[in-house]
Amino acid sequence: MTTAPPREPAPPTGKEPWPARMALRFTAFSERWLPDALGFVLVGTFAVFALGLVTGEDLFGAPSDPAATTGYGLVDAWGQGFWSLITFTLQMAMIIIAGYAVAVSPPVGRLIGRLARVPRTPRGAIAYTAAVAMVTSYLNWAFSLIFTAILAKEIARRVPGVDYRALGAMAFLGLGTVWAQGLSGSAALQVASAASSPPAVQKVIEEGRGSGLIPLTDTIFLWQGMAATAIVFVVAVGMAWFLSPSPERAKTAEEMGVELGPSVAEGRAELRRGRPGEWIEYSPVFAILLFALGVWYLARHFARAEGSALNALDLNTVNLILILLALILHWRPVRLAQAVKEGTPAASGVLLQFPLYGGIFGMIAFTGLSKTIAGWLVSVSNEFFYPALIAIYSCVLGVFVPSGGSKWVIEAPYVLDAANQLQVNQGWVVVVYDLGEASANLLQPFWMLPTLTILGLKARDIMGYTFAMFLVCFPVVLILVTLFARTLPFP
């Protein structure tokens, strides 16, 4: 099958709203000049390396204790950090693969097919995809990455003339806006659990509030936090509506040379057993038994959780839930194996690039660089401007260390200590971190990888749209975190 060659974009016309014109200009720039996701991490590695040299960090050096996480020179810190995210890398690869397996299961495939029939116009399709991405990421960011990407492909198949680049950008939007303030937000779950929060972080929290933990009611369930999240949601959906380019400026999947493949709503060809020995993987009996065993364990796991059951919802638990759901939804183990095989390529970018980001993480976390940067911000801060400055700092650092949980461990000790000194509510600092950290995902392609792989796009295809979204949403975040901070007492 031949595909239409990509056509040159038409010059901007007066038909597009200003957000669409801005996004198209950014997209034209990114398509021409920006590297793909791998290029970002390569450039980021040496940008952080150069920053460390400029700020006076040693080039070499390692502490005598091999378990130490400070006192390294830049070269040794890079090597020490390279494999520091290996567990997280496997967790993320499994989330992508298991999330894909859930999303292509027959029941979920039929649900996606029904949801894809809702939008009727290109502009409505883009705004609708943005809304679904944010709702699902609020519930669980990992599932959202896969579910909304597959939904976007279905919408592209059904809505003629929809801009595939804008659709792909909006499928990722939840990770750039509300995910960290949702039920799977890393920082809030960490500070609410003694098992997850490092002792150094608990000590700083205790100095400000008398207890080493911050319950979820004082972070993601603060009315101020929920109000800020709702406002960002409304602004982002409105922006998505106006990002849709005019028909002559839009690029469909076909025009970009992307093969959409079969619809997930159509179901899959029936697999037939070739020999008697295959009955185990073709029979639903063991799928049912394994699902029951997993549910039994999860019930005990959540029952043993300290405080809220949400405190037990870590990445390993999320992965187990996704695998069990995929197993029972596919009904036959052989179907699950087929879905896992199909979903594995979507994790290829994670497997290659996460260790490189681990090296960047090491150069920031295992040297004095993170405290140097934080010191610059805190030195020019006060009680009123501190939330906005921390949002900016979290966003900037998030471009180089794009991991909400790992980055929080870097920031938390000195960010919360400064909050104590300036008498800023600690729970609100967690909210500020969440909103600022999520915004960074609109500027770099780390978390875009699963979505891009499923959609058959490159980072440069969608980053013009995500950057335009950032320019509107992030100033709103800065205003909200500053104003709402005035309504919260210390501690």
Reported as a single tens digit per residue, the pLDDT across 151-178 is 999 999 999 999 999 999 999 999 999 9
User: In this predicted model, which residue has the larger pLDDT, 261 or 459?
Assistant: 459
Mean pLDDT value of segment 19-38: 78
Mean pLDDT value of segment 259-282: 70
pLDDT at position 344 over 80: yes
- Residue labelled with tokens 């390529």: 345
Residue 7 lies in a domain: no
Q: Distance between CA 281 and CA 266 in Å, rounded?
A: 23
The DSSP output letter for 179 is: G
| Sign of the torsion formed by the C-alpha atoms of 395, 398, 404 and 407 | negative
**Average pLDDT value over all residues in the chain:** 85
Mean pLDDT value of segment 423-429: 92
How many helices (H) does the chain have, and how many strands (E)?
22, 0
Cis amide linkage into residue 491, ω under 30° from 0: yes
Return the ∠ at Cα 76 (arms to 70 and 79), rounded to 5°.
105
Residue 491 lies in a domain: no
Instruction: Report the pLDDT value the prediction gives residue 466, as an integer from 0 to 100.
Output: 95
pLDDT at position 4 over 50: no
Residue 16 lies in a domain: no
Residues 6+ apart with CB under 8 A from 19: 239, 242, 243, 468, 472
Comparing 187-196, 337-346, 436-445, 471-480, the range with the smallest average pLDDT is 187-196
User: In this predicted model, which residue has the larger pLDDT, 122 or 193?
Assistant: 122
Instruction: Report the pLDDT value the prediction gives residue 5, as an integer from 0 to 100.
Output: 46
- DSSP secondary structure letters along 380-405: T--TTTHHHHHHHHHHHHHHHS--HH
Reported as a single tens digit per residue, the pLDDT across 370-385 is 778 777 767 777 888 8
Residue 313 lies in a domain: yes
Cα dihedral 312, 430, 148, 333, rounded to 10, equals -20
Instruction: Report the pLDDT value the prediction gives residue 416, as an integer from 0 to 100.
Output: 86
Instruction: Report the pLDDT value the prediction gives residue 6, as an integer from 0 to 100.
Output: 46
Reported as a single tens digit per residue, the pLDDT across 206-242 is 888 878 888 888 998 999 999 999 999 999 999 999 9
Q: Distance between CA 39 and CA 36 in Å, rounded?
A: 5
Reported as a single tens digit per residue, the pLDDT across 251-270 is 998 988 888 877 776 655 56
Mean pLDDT value of segment 78-91: 83
Q: Contact 313/189 with Cβ under 8 angstroms? A: yes
Residue 10 lies in a domain: no
Q: What is the largest CA-CA distance in the chain?
A: 73
* Residue 444 CA from chain centroid, whole number: 11
pLDDT at position 2 over 50: no
Global pTM reads: 0.82
pLDDT band at 386 (very low <50, low <70, confident <90, very high): very high
- DSSP secondary structure letters along 325-359: HHHHHH-SHHHHHHHHHHHGGGGHHHHHHHHHHHH
Q: How many independent structural domains does the chain possess?
A: 1
Q: Contact 24/245 with Cβ under 8 angstroms? A: yes
**Most confident stretch, 14-23, 26-35, 93-102, 120-129:** 120-129
Which residue range forms the structural domain that includes residue 228?
33-261+279-485
Q: Percent of the chain having pLDDT more than 90?
A: 37
Mean pLDDT value of segment 446-473: 90
Cα dihedral 101, 102, 104, 107, rounded to 10, equals 150
Residue 12 lies in a domain: no
Residue 271 lies in a domain: no
User: In this predicted model, which residue has the larger pLDDT, 185 or 119?
Assistant: 119
Residue 28 lies in a domain: no
pLDDT at position 76 over 80: yes
Coil, strand, or helix at residue 227?
helix
Nearest residue to 172 via CA among 129, 233, 111: 129
